[in-house]
Amino acid sequence: MAGAAGIVVERDVVYAEVGRPLRWNVFRPAAAPAGAPGVLLLHGGGWRAGDRANMTAACGAFARRGWVAIAPEYRLLGESPWPAPLDDARTAVRAARERAGALGIAADRIFLAGYSAGAHLALVAASGSAGPAREGEPYADQPETVAGVAAFFTPAVISERQGAALGITGPAAAAALDLRSHAGRLPPVILFCGDRDPMTPPELSLDLYQAIRRAGGTADLRLYADLIHEFVSLPGMMEATVEDAVAFFARTVLHKAELDAGLERLRRWWEGVAAP
């Protein structure tokens, strides 16, 4: 069906079978050329709640900027034990690569965006730390590589309470989900957090940002004064943050060569200024 501002929306499309159908909603610019960038958006909800419909506003914001935005569902804890949510997030990446032509996206220009628990899933999936798909999993022949991640109010460190909620016990299992330990394996990442967030304090995002940079990776960090968890629901904040994410992906991935050439010219100019 056609949505607002020339966006074509397909809802409840089955993208995989894992004992039951997994579905996603696809938001596509009506005039998008073949090979557009694609982004999979993972909802939050503490791994136990939430729905892909929660990503409607974010998907629309990406689609208005020429992206194909896809909101996949994943099995929640309570229906299936951990690591089902992570397995399904990884399956969604493989499905997008398998169906890239039908979706109108380039398989090497698939990005992830995640919100709260969805940000954690996106970053763990993007790190490749879970290993290759197991035999018999959907699209097991497809790689899970993504080009970049936008992570909003991320639980970068799993607390003991959160680990218990996930059904994870023991320091080794919790450490495996500590995003800082996977910093060197991540593609370009942009982190968003409010500096008054009591659920995912800004220190977590700052620590992750620093870990990525120490590991030689690419990361940006956006801290917002006085904002708390889920601040993207506030007036204007969804559009502003998606615009920032799109610009980051353009700079670090989609148009990196042009930006790198410009950066080198700028460096040479400053060297010339400083030399006298």
Summarised one tens digit per residue, pLDDT across range 142-156 is 999 999 999 999 999
* Surface-to-core class of residue 238, CB atoms within 10 Å of its CB (0-12 exposed, 13-18 middle, 19+ buried): middle
Which pLDDT belongs to residue 165?
A: 79
Q: Which two structure tokens, joined as six digits, stand for 118?
A: 């969805």
What is the extent of the structural domain holding 201? 4-274
- Model confidence at 163, pLDDT cuts 50, 70, 90, reads confident
- Model confidence at 5, pLDDT cuts 50, 70, 90, reads low
Whether pLDDT at 2 is above 50:
no
User: Per-residue pLDDT tens for 207-245?
Assistant: 999 999 999 999 999 999 999 999 999 999 999 999 999
**Tokens 């763990």 sit on residue:** 124
Q: Name the residue among 229, 226, 216, 218 with its Cα closest to residue 189.
A: 218
User: Per-residue pLDDT tens for 100-137?
Assistant: 999 999 999 999 999 999 999 999 999 999 888 988 89
DSSP structural state of residue 23:
E
Residue 153: CATH number of its domain: 3.40.50.1820
Q: Are 27 and 70 in contact (CB under 8 A)?
A: yes
Percent of the chain whose predicted confidence (pLDDT) is above 90: 86
User: Per-residue pLDDT tens for 65-95?
Assistant: 999 999 999 999 999 999 999 999 999 999 9
Distance of CA 173 to the CA centre of its chain: 22
Q: Are 127 and 161 in contact (CB under 8 A)?
A: no
Q: Are 222 and 108 in contact (CB under 8 A)?
A: no
* Surface-to-core class of residue 35, CB atoms within 10 Å of its CB (0-12 exposed, 13-18 middle, 19+ buried): middle
Q: How many domains does the chain have?
A: 1
Q: Which two structure tokens, joined as six digits, stand for 97?
A: 């690569």
Q: Which two structure tokens, joined as six digits, stand for 138?
A: 């959907």
User: Per-residue pLDDT tens for 168-194?
Assistant: 877 777 777 899 999 999 999 999 999
Which pLDDT belongs to residue 1?
A: 47
Q: Are 8 and 30 in contact (CB under 8 A)?
A: yes
